[in-house]
């Protein structure tokens, strides 16, 4: 049984995502010690510094999605099943920095698909617990694990279907954010694929730094951030950083 990490990375005219990838890969190698496959395009690949033993898969990213008016190349996550060379795959966003080995054990469960429903706001403002208007629980597609087989394949097929009829599903589940977000696409697909009742989850809150936090410093143990005039830090704890300026730290 092969196990590995699958990452998606595409530079845009506004952000050099490959710099974030480089930080993430270093931490995966240090803390998770798993094989790594990066899904990218040739333009991005040319900018990535040598990362040692890493596999690459090249695709042309689907364009057209935007976030805050800027190009956002996030639409290809539904292809993770086909693109992964592993029997069991950990998919993580490149802006999720694994400062611990906490995630590795989730590759050894009997579950076919695991994803988290919760995030922990590291600034203590509970900014991810806002009252929702949607009719279903949201998930964080930032981190998920799947084991190749009928059940995972069915979930990914459903994600593709949801993506094709995305506007309809947003209306059906009263989701007001009209951008394509993997979080919503997977939440809807899991709801549909699991008979609209319930499904198994990864029981952990993803530690997350909101968009308005600026990362001041980062090393292999953790990072420090600033929010307004508050400076704080964390060490030995995974962190999902929403502010893409972390690329330049």
Fill in the DSSP letter of residue 237: S
* Position among 64, 85, 149, 203 found at the interface with other proteins (CB under 8 A): 203
Q: Please identify, using beta-carbon distances, which residue of 128 and 161 lies nearer to other proteins.
A: 128
Rounded least distance, CB 54 to other proteins, Å: 26
Note whether 33 and 63 are within 8 A (CB): no
Q: Which stretch binds other proteins (CB under 8 A): 115-123, 132-140, 165-173, 240-248?
A: 115-123
Instruction: Identify the helix (H) or strand (E) that includes residue 18.
Output: helix 17-27
Q: Is 29 in the site for other proteins (CB under 8 A)?
A: no
Q: Show the site string, 74-103: x = touches other proteins by CB under 8 A, - = not.
A: --------------------------x-x-
Q: Is 110 in the site for other proteins (CB under 8 A)?
A: yes
Interior CA angle at 223 toward 217 and 224, to 5°? 65
Q: Is 201 in the site for other proteins (CB under 8 A)?
A: yes
- What is the sign, positive or negative, of the torsion defined by CA atoms of 94, 100, 102, 105? positive
φ, ψ for residue 177, nearest 5 deg: -70, 120
Q: Please identify, using beta-carbon distances, which residue of 64 and 203 lies nearer to other proteins.
A: 203
* Position among 38, 122, 185, 189 found at the interface with other proteins (CB under 8 A): 122
CA atoms of 116 and 50, how far apart (whole Å): 32
* Position among 12, 16, 47, 123 found at the interface with other proteins (CB under 8 A): 123
- Of the candidates 22, 5, 193, 189, which has an alpha carbon nearest to the alpha carbon of residue 106? 5
Cα dist from 51 to 28, 102, 170, 200, whole Å:
11, 23, 39, 35
Q: Is 151 in the site for other proteins (CB under 8 A)?
A: no
Rounded least distance, CB 205 to other proteins, Å: 6
Instruction: Give residues in contact with other proteins (CB under 8 A).
Output: 100, 102, 105-106, 108-111, 120, 122-124, 200-205, 207, 230, 232, 234, 236-238
């Amino acid at each position: 049984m092969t196990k590995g990490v699958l990452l998606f990375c595409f530079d845009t005219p506004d952000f050099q995502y490959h710099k974030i990838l480089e930080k993430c890969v270093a931490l995966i190698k240090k803390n998770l010690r798993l094989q790594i496959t990066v899904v990218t395009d040739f333009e991005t690949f040319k900018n990535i510094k040598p990362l040692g033993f890493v596999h690459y898969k090249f695709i042309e990213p689907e364009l057209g999605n935007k976030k805050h008016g800027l190009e956002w190349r996030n639409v290809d996550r539904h292809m993770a099943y086909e693109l992964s060379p592993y029997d069991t795959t950990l998919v993580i966003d490149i802006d999720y920095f694994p400062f611990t080995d906490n995630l590795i054990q989730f590759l050894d469960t009997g579950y076919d698909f695991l994803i988290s429903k919760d995030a922990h706001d590291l600034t203590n403002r509970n900014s991810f617990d806002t009252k929702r208007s949607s009719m279903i629980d949201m998930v964080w597609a930032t981190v998920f694990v799947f084991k190749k087989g009928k059940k995972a394949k069915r979930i990914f097929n459903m994600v593709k279907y949801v993506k094709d009829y995305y506007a309809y599903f947003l209306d059906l589940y009263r989701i007001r954010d009209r951008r394509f977000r993997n979080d919503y696409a997977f939440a809807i697909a899991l709801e549909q694929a699991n008979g609209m009742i319930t499904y198994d989850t990864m029981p952990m809150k993803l530690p997350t730094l909101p968009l308005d936090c600026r990362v001041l410093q980062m090393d292999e143990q953790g990072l420090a951030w600033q929010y307004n005039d508050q400076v704080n830090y964390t060490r030995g704890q995974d962190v999902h950083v929403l502010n893409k300026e972390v690329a330049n730290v």
